[in-house]
Amino acid sequence: MGEKILVLDAGTTSTRAMVFSRDGRMVGVAQAELTQHYPKPGWVEHDAAEIWDKTLACMREAVGEAAGDIAAIGITNQRETVVAWDRDTGEPHTRAIVWQDRRTADFCAQLKEAGHEAEVQKRTGLLLDPYFSGTKMRWMLDNDDAVRAASENDTLAFGTVESWLVFKLSGGCHVSDASNASRTLLLALDGEQFDAELCDLFGVPKPALPEVVDTHGQLATCTAEWLGRDIPICGLVGDQQSATIGQGCLSFGETKATYGTGAFVLTNKGHDIPRSDNRLLGTVLHQSGGNRTYAIEGACFVAGSLVQYLRDQLGLIGSASETEELARSIEDSGEVVIVPALAGLGAPHWKPDARGVISGLSFASGRAQIARAALEAMAHQTHDLASAFAADGAAWTSLRIDGGMSANDWMAQDLANILDLEVERPDFVETTALGAAICASVGAGLYENLEDAAKAMRGGARCFTPSMSDDVRKDRLARYARALSVA
């Protein structure tokens, strides 16, 4: 058996296959963009067949002729996105509903008005918001004839993206790891499997759901059909939990922030089920042998997707990398402030109907001011989360950052300035994939535990220290608060 790990990183805007050596070096990679479908305002969809086809192509390209070197497969994925497929044919019934989608806002409001949110939060750690998977499943059942018919015929399979990929790779194994399952609204944080009462509340048939398994171990097998030999699948973990593991946040209180399509902050809370009085989320960080480690989480729905919006929809920039040069070209944003509520507001506000705001525009405002304001919005959103974490007794003493946006030195320094906190960025910022590699390496027996694997596979880091005056910081935050009030 080889000692390399194949990671499938099924993200929101692209899917990738990455091969890692035992010491954490990336030795192969292939990537393909995913088509984004926006059929109505607030709706976001993916073609599940495209996710599978492009993931398969990427894994074959990344591995090449070296399948014999692969010890195990790890999978990390965009969480909360729901796929509905047929157990018999293995084909999707309809497009996947993406985590950013807001179409179930009215259903969530109805459940809130009926008084269910407090109990749901107590049991699942989550709030009643369209972000999570359970209401998406209910919408499919109510609005798609093929999904409803499959449910009536007992051939319906629901799952998040890792579940979909495992089903295809294994030829029919229907499982979901605990980190992803904890994002559905259908798993009690202290429950071993999906909860019958929660399924009844959301109107989701429990038989359509996968078996909940560990995040690392012998979880399934990729059949020889795909890479020429059977390869064990030994790691399954949602992308934000995976990045937390990849950052080595394996001790109580350690915190990371990932800036990808959205922005997500997780603090390791150990084995105690986390409770929040400030509308943060409790979630499963990882699970082994049925034993869970938890995290408390704050999620902002729009981060890198704001830069993508400036590029693709508004045509203000030609590439994401231009934002750093533009930000450095001016002394400040000229009072331009962006509230990036293009998909509603996540934690700690949870306003699904909020819409994006660009305020402070004048004739002096140009591309540079708007680009800088877009980067500044990352620090402003993160500061909101920091305040909520502190109010919940989980104040940050430092912050480890990763994700594609974190490669922007200007943004990393701005985070340190606004948070008034040391910010650490690893030399290898693709910690989401690294976390899945760490899980799979432990699951395959290459390392005894996550701590040993992380110590061996993580590299160096760069630190950013605060250098902003209190007056400038207060002024920035006050302008953002005013803009936020009208979002």
Q: What is the mean pLDDT of residues 136-162?
A: 96
Element (H, E) at 69: none
Q: State the DSSP string of 112-147.
A: HHTT-HHHHHHHHS--S-TTSHHHHHHHHHHH-HHH
Strand runs (DSSP E) across 314-467, as ranges?
A: 337-339, 357-359, 399-402, 423-426, 461-464
Q: What is the residue range of 10's domain?
A: 4-239
Looking at the domain assignment, is residue 119 inside a domain? Answer: yes
Q: What is the dihedral of CA 336, 373, 105, 101, to 10 degrees?
A: 140
Burial 223-257 (b: 16+ CB within 10 A, else e): beebbeeebbbbbbbbbbbbbbbbbbbbeeebbbb
| Cα 6 to Cα 66: distance, rounded to the nearest angstrom | 11
Q: What is the CATH number of the domain that holds 165?
A: 3.30.420.40
What is residue 397's predicted lDDT score, i.e. its pLDDT?
83
Contacts of 335 (CB under 8 A, 6+ apart): 360, 362, 479
- Residue 456 CB burial class (10 angstroms; 0-12, 13-18, ≥19): middle
The structure tokens 């203000």 sit at 316
Handedness of CA 33, 34, 39, 45 (dihedral sign): negative
| Cα 470 to Cα 109: distance, rounded to the nearest angstrom | 40
Q: What is the 3-state secondary structure (H, E, C) of 33-68?
A: ECCCECCCCCCCEECHHHHHHHHHHHHHHHHCCCHH
Per the DSSP assignment, residues forming a β-bridge with 236 are 75
Q: State the DSSP string of 267-287.
A: EEEETSPP--SSS-EEEEEEE
Looking at the domain assignment, is residue 106 inside a domain? Answer: yes
Q: For residue 369, what are its two tokens? A: 């001011």
Contacts of 96 (CB under 8 A, 6+ apart): 45, 46, 47, 48, 51, 81, 82, 83, 84, 161, 164
| Cα 275 to Cα 456: distance, rounded to the nearest angstrom | 33
From the DSSP assignment, how many helices (H) and strands (E) are in the chain? 17, 21
Instruction: Of 50-54, 128-132, 387-391, 457-461, give the range with the top mean pLDDT.
Output: 50-54
Looking at the domain assignment, is residue 452 inside a domain? Answer: no
Give percent above pLDDT 70 in the chain: 100
Distance (Å) of CA 220 to CA 152, 200, 232: 28, 29, 6
How does residue 84 score in pLDDT terms, banded at 50, 70 and 90? very high
- Residue 210 CB burial class (10 angstroms; 0-12, 13-18, ≥19): buried
CB atoms within 10 A of CB 398: 13
Helices within 234-366 (DSSP H only): 239-246, 304-312, 322-328
Per the DSSP assignment, residues forming a β-bridge with 46 are 96
Element (H, E) at 32: strand 26-33
- Note the pTM of the prediction, 2 decimals: 0.86
What is residue 30's predicted lDDT score, i.e. its pLDDT?
95
Q: What is the mean pLDDT of residues 4-29?
A: 94
Looking at the domain assignment, is residue 164 inside a domain? Answer: yes
CB atoms within 10 A of CB 66: 15
What is residue 1's predicted lDDT score, i.e. its pLDDT?
65
What is residue 114's predicted lDDT score, i.e. its pLDDT?
96
> Mean pLDDT over all residues of the chain?
94
Looking at the domain assignment, is residue 304 inside a domain? Answer: no
Domain count, the chain: 1
Length of the chain: 487
Least confident of 115-124, 346-355, 468-477: 346-355
- pLDDT, tens digit, 9 for 90 and up, residues 415-441: 999 999 999 999 988 899 999 999 999
What is residue 414's predicted lDDT score, i.e. its pLDDT?
97
Looking at the domain assignment, is residue 356 inside a domain? Answer: no
- pLDDT, tens digit, 9 for 90 and up, residues 382-408: 999 999 999 888 888 889 998 889 999
Evaluate whether 239 touches 78 at the Cβ level (below 8 Å). Answer: yes
| Cα 381 to Cα 262: distance, rounded to the nearest angstrom | 11
Q: For residue 431, what are its two tokens? A: 């910690």
pLDDT at 349 over 70: yes
Looking at the domain assignment, is residue 308 inside a domain? Answer: no
